[in-house]
A and B are shown apart, each in its own frame.
Chain A
């Protein structure tokens, strides 16, 4: 009879589920594991390397074997532990890691070849012949690698994130955690109680013992009812606190909808919790005892067996045996007998072991072998070299309890070995500041100790914060000790498993020792023990104890490996925080975006911005057609482009000019009011950082521009200069990039177009010359600013209005300028025109270039101290000969490729002969061929020379002529018209 009486399951409802296509039933409150056990299913998977039949081993998140693919279709999730999967109606699960049916895995042949698959085999095999690696070995290994398979479909679920703040974070809702939460919450402080299970109570739900005069689950329900009623306490169920980060910041994942057929809102939420004090009450995990063939389906942790019997009323076999090196295993035996399960043997290595109930006791004995490949059938017991076989379908193994001190060790806190506990306890110092450990996690594992320890820990944590709290009345509870006897493994010839998930045996540890991989970090990585999804929760301590035996060192001398987050696996989706697709990152739209979209503009991502790239017209079939048209139309008539994205910084104050003088290599304080000047900004190491314009609107008021990409960094840099370098200067800064929509109006008809929108403003060349600026109004009184600057080389202006009017202004300019050939143009045409004029942009200001290379060496003033000017005078910088030139293909049909490196003709194309590189390239409709800009050694003295641009990736070379970078209007006459 596999479903027993009692249990915390709702028998009034029946849930249907399937495993490997076979239908079963269970009840709300079941996990997939408990439901399978209740249906007598013991075989649930195949081991990683040897494909040995495996069964459910534990009852919580430490489960190493029972990994299934949960759900189907796009929501199929591999490597789901059946022990934590809540049962729901229609749940579908399939086993992993086998070829052919679970009961007849074709890859079980690996088990027969096991001598060749011992630890470290991949360091020694698959080496020869070398050619086989890519064609045979690697594909083979890839197919065999991993456990489950992904659906390969997009994840249809939503994920979320949030931020919580509290005075006390209690991690774990068992005896200690509940006592701590009650103590703290009753004092009025803000408490968060998190537990990874769907019910509070921890091991209190797994025991048959009473708390005071009531069953433990009843006390839990009463405590929970009180906690739920307190407004200052927040309970996070199904929530794993996976990492302890700096300064009281903890990461947690709440599985909001994992237990539902489909989530109602989000599937999981990532919580960033900032806590003043933290209590880790995460309990303890049981360890097993390795012996020959200890991995058969039906062999599980004795404490887990006890949980299945009490909490889930399930036991998958009629006859049960227990192998225990402590008194706790005897409790399991006694509880089973009380529940009507036949216990055929309790095997205890202690010669003086005492029975705690009515069952056959084999004292001074060990388990030395088992039978039953697809499910345990017999257990071999040996006492004084005399073996006997007894029948059992389930063997519970009790090797001791390891405190779950992981989070306390996330800050390199090294746990300390306790001889009395025969376990590692949290280090007394060195863990995350503000965190204390309570209950079984601190080695205070009896129920009574856990309750008192939890309450006391809360009182102490609050006292630390200057808050007094009263200890609650706690019920009387069991204080039975474990009396742990150290039996780390049963020696023998056959393989004895230590880490079930990565298939690592005691033999493998011996091999590691033999190969001198003896420090625990080497043992771990060489054997892969502890590296699977369960991170060796049921294996690590046993493994290092075995290594200690081999080396002759003590267990504390051997030590543990380093503990790192996450405590249990965390999905990439929830770490992403929920935004995917177009919302993956912020999108910034320009003020004229609506109008441009209505015109059918094609947009391009420029950092976070969406900018109009070009505006196709009906009949145009390629982007080149469109861009060529926009360029020609601008230079022939007038073009309009939204240039809002360039950074704008408002600089004010009595010392604004002096400040800008120090920020830019060229003089700025001398700029007259009403004028604009090009600004060259250097890094302190002498390289060019950014460029832009400074417009002086008043004695104490400048508006400074930056490139789009550098808007943020330059603002940061300016604040650094203002606050850190020259705090004595009276200057104030604020960003105004978004506040003002700004449009470039460029071309021979630019002035005539603007005359139609400005309100009574004299735009004549005398009144408003090249590089002038002024505030004014447009379109019947709208406040605006006009700057006569040109990126295109044409007669050009930039007009700024409050951003909400940008869209309407763009439409107005195109509309009233129709007869002037007004043409909207995008970033492509913008780029073509500035390359045609030889204007430097981001490609030329890539952080590796200098003012000298750009032909702006004379702009760097020696008369004032400015950022970068001193370092421009370094020998190496001055010796640099590469200079900005224009490049044109000798054959006009040839392309010019940005990024290509330049060489003299006839020279070998290698690093030593490299003479420079091409920074920007485009097709110029004015020149009638591709053109480019680049840096060439001594370029300015080589005009007319033919050089070679190398494209080694495609094995091509192009012959280019070195020309002036000013392809159009080289005298600059149009600018000053």
Chain B
């Protein structure tokens, strides 16, 4: 085990959790990520028993989840396994596919609320996604203030937002500002 200490994407020793009105925003620094892309002639694998979702979808099972990122390409999530070499583990599950480590490629914010209303209100301020058509099990990449972000609707009251790790501060500023304005209004 290395003796180097990691930093969160926002540059702190510990990842941030903050409550703003009905919304809680938490940096999920424990989530491992790896991309999985089909090669020619390789069938669609079922890594860790997970059926890979179709375009615009997100599927989860037992701590592992995947969302579609392009034709024949997915991002696989593994809760709590960020310190491990998850890409190697995934490659073992999908030998004939191209796998690349993505854990520190993204900052991941989990945004939760007691019900759907604050989540929908936040979505309509941040991204040009039809909140109504973005039911649990949906995942899309879209633009947020000139940055690319992945948006995942994990549940009625649970959204995940992934952005380039290097832009974590800018993305957080946008989320926080929108959340504060919704609360004050």
A/B contact in complex, CB under 8 angstroms: yes
Binding site for B on A (CB under 8 A): 158, 160-165, 190, 264-266, 272, 274, 577-579, 583, 585-591, 593-594, 608-609, 644, 650, 652-654, 700, 730, 732, 734-741, 777-783, 802-809, 812
Per the bound structure, the CA–CA distance linking A734 and B185 in Å amounts to: 41
Which listed residue, B3, B7, B100, touches A734 by the CB 8 Å rule? B100
Q: Is B46 interfacial (CB-CB < 8 Å)?
A: no
Measured between beta carbons, the chain A residues less than 8 angstroms from B185 are 264-265
Residue pair A652, B102 in contact (C-beta under 8 Å): no
Given A644-B166, A778-B2, 16 extra CB contacts under 8 A: A158-B181, A161-B125, A264-B184, A264-B185, A265-B185, A589-B169, A594-B7, A652-B37, A732-B73, A734-B37, A782-B2, A802-B103, A803-B166, A805-B2, A807-B11, A809-B4
User: Provided the pairs A586-B147, A653-B39, A738-B104 are in contact, do residues A780 and B73 lie with their beta carbons within 8 angstroms?
Assistant: no
Closest-by-CB residue of A relative to B87 is A783
Q: Are B184 and A165 neighbours in the complex by a CB distance under 8 Å?
A: no
A585 CA to B165 CA, complexed, in Å? 16
22 contacts between A and B (CB under 8 A): A158-B181, A165-B130, A264-B184, A579-B145, A586-B145, A594-B11, A652-B37, A653-B40, A653-B98, A734-B73, A734-B100, A738-B104, A738-B105, A738-B106, A738-B166, A739-B101, A779-B2, A780-B2, A781-B2, A805-B2, A808-B5, A812-B4
Q: B173 and A739: CB pair below 8 A?
A: no
Complex contact B165–A587 (CB within 8 A): no
**Beta-carbon contact of B104 and A165 below 8 Å:** no
B128 touches A732 (CB 8 A): no
For the residues of B in contact with A, the DSSP-based class is mixed
Alpha-carbon distance A739/B102, docked complex (angstroms)? 6
Chain A residues positioned under 8 Å from B169 (CB to CB): 587, 589
A588, B101: Cβ atoms closer than 8 Å: no
B175 on the A face (CB < 8 A): no
Contact among B35, B100, B124 for A164, CB-based, below 8 A: B124
Q: Which 9 A-B pairs have the closest CB atoms?
A: A739-B105, A803-B104, A652-B98, A588-B166, A804-B6, A782-B2, A165-B130, A808-B4, A732-B37
User: Is B127 at the interface (CB under 8 A from chain A)?
Assistant: yes
Instruction: Specify the chain B residue showing the minimal Cβ separation from A577.
Output: B145
**Bound-complex Cα distance A274 to B164 (A):** 27
* Chain B window 127-147, contacts with chain A (Cβ cutoff 8 Å), 1 for yes, 0 for no: 111111100000000000111
Q: Which residues of B contact A736 (CB under 8 A)?
A: 100-102, 105
Q: Which residue of B lies closest to A651 (CB)?
A: B98
Asked if B124 and A162 sit within 8 Å, CB to CB, the answer is: yes
Complex Cα–Cα for A594 and B168 (A):
13
Which residue from B1, B40, B165, B170 sits with its C-beta under 8 Å from A739?
Answer: B165
Neighbouring B residues of A586 by C-beta, 8 Å: 145-147, 167, 170-171
CA distance A652 to B4 in the complex (A): 30
Q: Which of B6, B35, B73, B100 contacts A805 (CB 8 A)?
A: B6
Across the interface, B170 reaches (CB within 8 A) one of A190, A587, A650, A730, namely A587
Please tell me the number of chain B residues within 8 Å of chain A, measured between CB atoms: 54
Cβ contact within 8 Å between B166 and A589: yes
* Interchain CA distance A264-B185 in the complex, whole Å: 7
The answer to whether the Cβ of B111 comes within 8 Å of any Cβ in the partner chain is no
Q: Which residues of A contact B38 (CB under 8 A)?
A: 732
- A734 vs B75: C-alpha distance when bound (angstroms): 11
The distance from the CB of A125 to the nearest CB of chain B, in whole angstroms, is: 47
Complex partner residue of B184 from A265, A734, A783, CB under 8 angstroms: A265
Give chain A residues whose Cβ lies under 8 Å from the Cβ of B166: 588-591, 609, 644, 737-738, 803
> Are A652 and B128 also in contact (CB < 8 A) when A738-B166, A739-B105, A804-B8 are?
no
A780 to B1, CA, bound (A): 6
B5 lies within 8 A of A654 (CB): no
Q: Which chain A residues lie closer than 8 Å to B104 at the CB level?
A: 738-741, 802-804
Residues in chain A near residue B173, CB distance under 8 A = 583
- Residue B44 lies at the interface, judged by CB distance under 8 Å to chain A: no
Q: How far is the CA of A158 from the CA of B180 in the complex (A)?
A: 13
Does B29 sit at the interface, judged by CB under 8 A? yes
| B3 A160 Cβ-Cβ under 8 A | no
Chain B residues contacting A577 (CB-CB under 8 Å) are 145
Bound-complex Cα distance A190 to B124 (A): 15
Asked if A588 and B181 sit within 8 Å, CB to CB, the answer is: no
Q: What are the residues of chain B within 8 A of A163 when measuring CB–CB?
A: 124-125, 127-129
B85 interfacial contact with A, CB 8 Å: yes
A residues less than 8 Å from B2 (CB atoms): 777-782, 805
Q: What residues of chain B have their CB less than 8 Å away from a CB belonging to chain A?
A: 1-9, 11, 29, 35, 37-41, 73, 82, 85, 98, 100-106, 124-125, 127-133, 145-147, 164-171, 173, 177-178, 181, 184-185
Contact between A782 and B4 (Cβ–Cβ < 8 Å)? yes
On chain B, the residues within 8 Å of A783 by CB distance are 85
A808 touches B132 (CB 8 A): no
B102 — nearest CB in chain A belongs to which residue?
A739
Q: How far is the CA of A783 from the CA of B178 in the complex (A)?
A: 38
Residue of A nearest to B29 (CB): A804
Q: Quick check: A730 and B39 within 8 Å, CB to CB? A: yes
Bound: A804/B102 CA distance, A: 12
Contact of A583 among B6, B103, B124, B170 (CB under 8 A): B170
Least distance between A940 CB and chain B CB atoms (Å): 40
CB neighbours of A644 from chain B (8 A): 166
Residues of A contacting B124 with CB < 8 Å?
162-164
CB distance from B106 to the nearest CB of A (A): 7
Q: Within the assembled complex, what's the spacing in Å between the Cα atoms of A872 and B85?
A: 44
Tell me, in angstroms, the Cα distance from A258 to B171 when the chains sit together: 28
> CB-CB < 8 A to A589: which residues of B?
11, 166, 168-169
**A738 pairs with B164, CB closer than 8 A:** yes
A264: chain B residues at CB < 8 Å are 184-185
Our pick among B1, B35, B106, B131 for the contact of A165 (Cβ within 8 Å) is B131
Across the interface, which residues of A come within 8 angstroms of B73, CB to CB?
732, 734
User: In the complex, A737→B104 CA distance in Å?
Assistant: 10
What CA separation (Å) do A766 and B101 show in the bound complex? 30
Give min CB distance, A243 to chain B, whole Å. 17
Q: Which of B7, B105, B128 contacts A272 (CB 8 A)?
A: B128
Give complex CA distance A162, B2 in Å: 45
The smallest beta-carbon distance between B114 and chain A, in angstroms, is 18
Q: Closest approach, in angstroms, between the C-beta of A55 and any C-beta of chain B?
A: 38
Q: When the two chains form their complex, are residues A588 and B39 in contact, meaning their CB atoms are under 8 A apart?
A: no
- Taking the nearest CB of chain B, how far is it from the CB of A470, in angstroms? 23
Verify A190–B181 contact, CB threshold 8 A: no
If A190-B132, A805-B2 touch, whether A588 touches B98 (CB-CB below 8 Å) is: no
Distance between Cα atoms of A608 and B147 in the complex (Å)? 11
Complex Cα gap A803–B3 (Å): 15
B9 contacts which chain A residues (CB < 8 A)?
A: 804
Given A588-B167, A589-B169, A781 and B100 contact (CB-CB distance below 8 Å): no
CB < 8 Å: which of B7, B130, B177, B181 contacts A808? B7
Complex-state Cα separation, A249 to B124, whole angstroms: 15
| Residues of B close to A593: CB separation below 8 A | 11
Known: A272-B128, A274-B130, A779-B3. A734 touches B146 (CB 8 A): no
Contacts of A734 in B (CB 8 A): 35, 37, 73, 100, 102
Q: CA–CA, A803 to B165, complex, Å?
A: 8
Q: A587 — which chain B residues lie within 8 A by C-beta?
A: 167, 169-170
In angstroms, Cα B85 to Cα A138, docked, is 70
* Distance A593 CA – B8 CA, assembled complex (angstroms): 12
Please report the C-alpha to C-alpha distance between residue A266 and residue B129 in the assembled complex, in whole angstroms: 22
A808 touches B6 (CB 8 A): yes
B8 to chain A, nearest CB (A): 7
**Which of B82, B85, B127, B167 neighbours the largest number of chain A CB atoms within 10 Å of its CB?**
B167
Nearest residue (CB) in A for B184 is A265
Q: B126 to chain A: closest CB distance in Å?
A: 8
| CA A577 to CA B171, docked complex, whole Å | 15
Residue of A nearest to B144 (CB): A586
Residues of A contacting B37 with CB < 8 Å? Answer: 652, 732, 734
Most buried by A among B41, B85, B100, B103: B100
Most chain-A CB neighbours within 10 Å: which of B2, B8, B130, B169? B2
Chain B residues with Cβ under 8 A from A158's Cβ? 181
Q: How far is the CA of A264 from the CA of B183 in the complex (A)?
A: 11
